[in-house]
Structure 1
Amino acid sequence: MGGDVVVRRADVADVGEVARLFAGYLEFYECPRPPAEVSAYLTARFANGESVVLLAAVGGRVVGFAQCYPTWASLELAPAWVLYDLFVDPSARGLGVGRALLRAVADHARAAGATTAVLETAHTNTTAQALYESEGWVLDTTYRTYALTL
């Protein structure tokens, strides 16, 4: 596999490719799901216009994706994006795919009028943390994230 990383916005016709990568993402985070559930989830996000999915290809092969959810930053009274999912196939790691996806997320968010983009990652995912920080993402030291399982 060689060549430049090409990133493009996915659409509903890409659900199969996104689902393949999304399954790898879920495995990485130890949350596997049946393929039909993954495809149904992604199809609904596309159909309802609820997320923006970017696909990265190297040598014509799709090897990574980022899924973002446009939302609002109420303290800024402006649009914001949440980068919720980012995954690069293990065979393509080290080729700049994650970096290309991060840059494309920032470009698309800016073009959509967003004033900020945020993401979360596991405390143990230090490889991803180093990448994010090298691309200008800053660890939030002001706010603490909480979750309530419902």
Structure 2
Amino acid sequence: MTIVRAANINDLDALTELLDGYRQFYQQPSDMQAAREFLGQRMGLGDSFILVSESSEGTLTGFVQLYPGVSTVGLNARWTLNDLFVLPGCREKGTGRALMDAATQLARDHGVPRLILMTQVENERAQHLYESLGWQRNTAFYGYLLDVK
């Protein structure tokens, strides 16, 4: 059985490993120290919501991270579901679905009318999950990136 709950500072070590695995999934080099500092900063500033999935044995098996934002056009809150990661051995067991459901409920609890996310074009497994949960692919807007260094 998967338990989903808010992450806390006691989860920092295990969550750091999950974040490092998530980054490696996206072809980033492993950097445990930077991952730990990043998470510590998020928790310290409280600028994101991090939910974790936990096995019945108490092991963290995945996480989802949401960043609050606003929509000028909608004149309301709009959160970005920026990260979803489940350990490879825990995939296809409902963990990702449980994390997504908990993220949706958290948004409802905060009165947030819309969640948004982006995923890689090749990440068909994630796309299938999102679409099975009612998420709709955005065909009205193009996404752009600009690296500013």
Question: Residue 124 of structure 2 corresponds to which residue in structure 1?
Answer: 126
Query: SS of 1:114's equivalent?
Result: coil
Structure 2: stretches of 5+ with no match in the other structure: none
Contact 1:68 1:82 in 2 (8 A): yes
Q: CA deviation at 1:88?
A: 0.3
> Which whole-Å CA distance do the structure 1 matches of 2:68 and 2:10 have between them?
21
1:86-125 equivalent positions in 2, closer than 5 A:
86-125=84-123
Q: Which amino acid aligns with 2:45?
A: N
Q: Does 1:38 align with 2:7?
A: no
* Same amino acid, percent of matched pairs: 36
Partner of 1:52: 49
- The reply to whether residue 8 of structure 1 matches residue 43 of structure 2 is no
Paired position in structure 1 for 2:77: 79
DSSP 3-state at the match of 1:32: coil
Alpha-carbon distance in structure 1 between the residues aligned to 2:72 and 2:40:
29
Quote how far apart the aligned CAs of 1:39 are.
Answer: 0.3
Deviation per residue, 1:34-93 (Å, 9 max, x gap): 211110011001100111000001223210000110111221111111010100000101
* 1:25 CA displacement: 0.3
Contact preservation (8 Å) 1:57, 1:63: yes
Tell me the secondary structure at the aligned position of residue 64 of structure 1: strand
- Given that 1:9 and 1:54 are in contact with CA atoms closer than 8 Å, whether structure 2 keeps it comes out as yes
Report if the CA contact (8 A) 1:12-1:47 is conserved: no
**What residue is the counterpart of 1:62 in the other structure?**
60
CA separation in 2, counterparts of 1:121 and 1:40? 24
- Compute the RMSD of aligned alpha carbons: 0.9
Q: TM-score scaled by structure 1?
A: 0.95
Q: Which amino acid aligns with 2:6?
A: R
Q: Where does structure 1 differ by over 3 angstroms across 4 or more consecutive aligned residues?
A: none
Alpha-carbon distance between aligned partners in 2 of 1:82 and 1:107, rounded to the nearest angstrom: 14
**Higher deviation after alignment, 136-145 or 73-82:** 73-82
Q: In the comparison of the two structures, how many residue pairs are matched?
A: 147
**Higher strand residue share:** 1
